[in-house]
Amino acid sequence: MTTTVEPGKAHALPRVLRGRRRRRGATRAHPALLLFPLPALVIYVIFFAIPTVQAVQYAITDWDGFSATFENVGIDNFRRILTGDDLFMNALTNNLKFMLIVVVFQTLFALLLAVFLVKNSRGSVLLRALFFFPTILSSVSVAFIWKFIYDPNFGLGNRVLDGVGLDGMQLSYLGDPATAIYWVAVTQVWFHAGQMMVIFVAGLQAVPAELYEAAEMDGAGKWTQFRHITWPMIAPATAIVVAYTTIQSFKAFDLILGLGGNPPKFSMDILSTRIYTSFANSEFGYAAAESLVFMAVIAAIVVAQRRVLKLTQKDV
């Protein structure tokens, strides 16, 4: 039964119906719902916000980590980092080389694997699990596995070269200062390419099949389809992979220590291990300043990468 009311006679509605009309408007969130984000907020404040503020405070001091007193040195720590610390600049250079190799090859390799294994067939699922397997290993385990492979005397790498008659091409791998950081990058790519593949697979499976069908009807080849359909459509997945891979390459602390020792060799030192060494040398104030520069470098690179990706995907 439908109840109709003439204009201007809304007051004639029964009180129950008028109450229902009011309740159908905008609903108010129960105050108790505001408590749900509280645990996450507390964790964020305790483990991120407060330590960040303290790092800024310590970065302008000469605190050694133990003394009850310390002096304010202003921007001297930052001046020393940017103009007078050859070890920090060497670590930054090594880290940029490492990041460039890892981001380019890990992203390409992960995307290639995802393109070939995007279908949910039994074989594709099995291969995805196989390529993802290294990701579940600990970084220390991966470091020792590859340290054995890279050993110039009895390592698997040189033994394979010797077995195929290429003993003249045997390498010292981590023993060569000019190429050591690149061999560490190879290990990192092997370690995490499968993890990035999963993100790309999710992005590829979200692309509507109708777009490919329409492109085929128009005579577009596989490369044209990838360039004008796949690449723009997986932009969010690509941004995640590139940003995460960049952060991983700057945080490859345990992998570097496992392959290069503690402290690592000069040719394998990166920013995270350099900061760790400063803390180990009781230069807490200086290490805090290095940490802030470290964060700024990562943020600047990630922002630049996102802009480059947007430009490349607008042009296709």
Structure confidence by residue, pLDDT tens digits, 136-149: 988 889 998 998 89
Q: For 164-281, where are the alpha helices, taking DSSP H only?
A: 180-205, 209-217, 222-225, 231-233, 235-250, 253-260, 271-280
CA gap 292, 78 in Å, rounded: 9
Q: What is the pLDDT of residue 306?
A: 80
Side chain identity, residue 176: D
Q: What is the pLDDT of residue 20?
A: 52
Candidate from 11-25, 207-221, 272-286 with smallest mean pLDDT: 11-25
Local confidence band at 132 (pLDDT 50, 70, 90 cut-offs) = very high
Reading phi first (left if > 0) and then psi (alpha if -120 to 50, else beta), residue 218 is in: alpha
Q: What is the pLDDT of residue 199?
A: 93
68 or 112, which is more confident: 112
Closest by alpha carbon to 256, among 180, 190, 194?
180
What ranges do the domains of the chain cover? 87-315
Closest by alpha carbon to 241, among 208, 213, 202, 296?
202
Q: What is the pLDDT of residue 142?
A: 92
Local confidence band at 315 (pLDDT 50, 70, 90 cut-offs) = low
φ, ψ (nearest 5 deg) of residue 289: -65, -40
CA gap 172, 166 in Å, rounded: 14
Q: What is the pLDDT of residue 309?
A: 75
The residues, ordered by sequence, that sit 6+ positions from 110 with a Cβ below 8 Å of its Cβ are 193, 194, 195, 196, 197, 199, 200, 241
**87-315 CATH choice from 3.30.230.10, 1.10.10.10, 1.10.3720.10, 3.40.50.1820:** 1.10.3720.10
CA gap 61, 73 in Å, rounded: 5
Tokens read off for 296: 């700024």
